[in-house]
Structure 1
Amino acid sequence: MRAAVLGSINIDLVASAPRLPNPGETVSGHAFRREAGGKGANQASAAAQLGADVVMFGAVGQDADGDLALATLRAVGVDVESVRRVAEPTGVALIVTDDAGENQIVVCAGANAEVVAPPADVSPGDRAFDVLIAQLEIPAEVVEAAFLATDAFTVLNASPARELPERLVRRADLIVVNEHEYAAMESLRAARRVVVTYGGAGSALFENGERTATVPAVPATVVNSVGAGDAYCAAVALGLAAGADPCSALATASAVGAAAVADPASQPALFPLHDYEAMT
């Protein structure tokens, strides 16, 4: 399957601590690490490792952080030739994780604000894609323009939560959110298909506002939840785009998410998708 991912590329600055700090509080940490991240890059990495032929569309700075982000994607087979190098610095996410795997994140967009829609590359033709995946760490109008310009199966990870243009909601073949985002975005009740994740309580598919499938979570030892939602999104996008039965697609994605939370990286190491299908 050929997949295009349109979205953010960041460097994650991650501090681990026994617990998350309260407002105004300082806590002692375990360790600090600097690694590639960003919801778009995380989903591109996951999709490539799961077996898709992936092209990334985004923007990074002309800096060492941009070099690191692109090298990390290349290492798992993502085509990054369409990623723009711009004057703004590469985006950064400041992340604190605790011993339970919970996190707090602040994202500074940087070069991600310079992402442009690639209509020529996601329309039918010599470089047609089966699926286009996007998120909301880049401008929503860029996502809308790309979705309206393609006949591919379109997947929107509507995160961070914001009010969405009606045309974007109507055009999306699939929207993926967590339970908090679903509660905050009333417009999603009108969407054709929405997958909602509930953490340890599993996930569900809503079609035109009606729940049509529910799947339990796969038990896992939580090390880091930062990239788990992105890995889940990539897996469920590829499954449903390929025409898999919804319950099977959600169950497989849950197995991928369980593998992701057990890995400390924002872009966790994953097996091909069929390996996780065999687990369900």
Structure 2
Amino acid sequence: MATGEQADIVVVGGINTDFLVQGPRLPGPGDNVRGHLFLESLGGKGADGAVGAARLGARVALVGRVGMDPRGLALLEQLEGEGVDIGAVARDPSALTGVVLEMVDEAGRKQTLASPGANLCMRVADVMQAEERISAASVLLVDLEVPMDVVSAAVHHARAAGTRVVLDPAPAMSLPEDLLEAVHVIRPNAEEAEALTGVEVRDRGSARQAAENLLRRGVGGVVVASPDGSLVLTSEGELWLPDLSVERADTTGAGDAFCAALAVALTEGKSLAQAARFAHEASALATMRLGALGGLPTREQVESRLALLGPAGLSAEASPL
């Protein structure tokens, strides 16, 4: 979309360069493992969410911060090439663009080490400059790779403006109650759900306990990713989405793909149950290729898979949602 055009979705979050190496196994302390594949790409939850939503057909604007280094400028070019409005992405003259180092084994398991760089230099003023974009959007998608005061400012402004708030609570941490109360939909994985609620998420039952905790604290709807599926819970009912059977190459970016697809479906007027089904498929597709950016699916890919699977392929039971 063109810079300045009204966005369906505004994303506030991290922007990084991802460096990924795949090898036969993950190294332990002191190990030296020879890898056989290297990828360098655009990354960060904010950037992944923006690109993921754009590939699914939404008009997307990104609010974030990169350095003035060559990596940062290259990332901005990539974002524009994906159709993302970067008019609200600040260029920091004194901080380096964020970096993520990822190691992936042949089973798709990963280890990550990050240096947030310019992401942690974001200021509330960056959100204030994007107020009109946020107010005009249908959905705000926000993550925790930027300072908490920035997250809070974006969420509360969106809520006051009538823009729906979808929170990807990563990286894992506890959150203030007033922030949770302003969130329409939150999508934690097992580690993030435990950090938020104290509940160790191991299966559907414990995922329900964590989701109920978040509902009691004011969140409108919850999608908890457990080790064997995703649980959707609102005051109207529950939906269980078992893990889909796909050939996984890398789980990096699966959660980002889920949140992007969820935001897109909600923008299009779908219910949370419908949106979660759509996002569940997008997330599974994202694990089939290496790297977060490379795995983000297109609209055609998601809809083709949904058509093949049908409703019975996505859920083990009917949903009251």
Q: TM-score, normalised by structure 2?
A: 0.80
- Provide, for residues 260-279 of structure 1, a one-character-per-residue CA deviation record: whole Å limited to 9, x for no partner: 11122311352227725545
Kindly indicate whether residue 80 of structure 2 is the aligned counterpart of residue 82 of structure 1: no
- The answer for the alignment partner of 2:141 in structure 1 is 133
Kindly indicate whether residue 166 of structure 2 is the aligned counterpart of residue 155 of structure 1: yes
**Aligned counterparts of 1:119 and 1:277: Cα–Cα separation in 2:** 39
The CA deviation at 1:18 is 1.0
| 8 Å CA contact retained: 1:12, 1:37 | yes
- The answer for the alignment partner of 2:298 in structure 1 is 271
- The answer for the alignment partner of 2:224 in structure 1 is 196
- The answer for the alignment partner of 1:29 in structure 2 is 35
Give the number of the structure whose residues are more often helix, by fraction: 2
**Counterpart of 1:193 in structure 2: which amino acid?**
G
**Counterpart of 2:143 in structure 1: which amino acid?**
Q
Residue 140 to residue 27, structure 1, CA distance change in 2 (3 Å): same
Residue 258 to residue 172, structure 1, CA distance change in 2 (3 Å): same
Secondary structure at the aligned position of 1:194 is classed as: strand
- Provide, for residues 34-67 of structure 1, a one-character-per-residue CA deviation record: whole Å limited to 9, x for no partner: 2110111001000000111000100000011102
Kindly indicate whether residue 14 of structure 2 is the aligned counterpart of residue 8 of structure 1: yes
When structure 1 is superposed on structure 2, of 33-42 and 21-30 the one drifting more is 21-30
Q: Tell me which stretches of 4 or more aligned residues in structure 1 moved more than 6 Å.
A: none
- The answer for the alignment partner of 2:150 in structure 1 is 142
- The answer for the alignment partner of 1:96 in structure 2 is 103
| 8 Å CA contact retained: 1:216, 1:251 | no
**Aligned counterparts of 1:277 and 1:129: Cα–Cα separation in 2:** 27
| 8 Å CA contact retained: 2:64, 2:122 | yes
**Aligned counterparts of 1:71 and 1:63: Cα–Cα separation in 2:** 13
**Counterpart of 1:106 in structure 2: which amino acid?**
L
The CA deviation at 1:214 is 0.9
**Counterpart of 2:222 in structure 1: which amino acid?**
V
| 8 Å CA contact retained: 2:20, 2:291 | no
The CA deviation at 1:122 is 3.7
Q: Of 43, 48, 61, which aligns to 1:55?
A: 61
The CA deviation at 1:123 is 4.9
**Aligned counterparts of 1:114 and 1:89: Cα–Cα separation in 2:** 10
Residue 174 to residue 241, structure 1, CA distance change in 2 (3 Å): farther
Secondary structure at the aligned position of 1:82 is classed as: strand
Q: Over aligned residues, Cα RMSD in angstroms?
A: 2.1
**Counterpart of 2:221 in structure 1: which amino acid?**
R
- The answer for the alignment partner of 1:245 in structure 2 is 271
- The answer for the alignment partner of 2:314 in structure 1 is none
**Aligned counterparts of 1:238 and 1:79: Cα–Cα separation in 2:** 16
Percent of residue pairs bearing the same amino acid type: 35
The CA deviation at 1:244 is 1.8
Secondary structure at the aligned position of 1:80 is classed as: strand
Kindly indicate whether residue 140 of structure 2 is the aligned counterpart of residue 113 of structure 1: no
| 8 Å CA contact retained: 2:139, 2:267 | yes
- The answer for the alignment partner of 1:46 in structure 2 is 52
**Aligned counterparts of 1:49 and 1:194: Cα–Cα separation in 2:** 24
Secondary structure at the aligned position of 2:232 is classed as: strand
The CA deviation at 1:211 is 6.7
**Aligned counterparts of 1:219 and 1:227: Cα–Cα separation in 2:** 17
Secondary structure at the aligned position of 1:161 is classed as: coil
Residue 165 to residue 123, structure 1, CA distance change in 2 (3 Å): farther
Secondary structure at the aligned position of 2:290 is classed as: coil
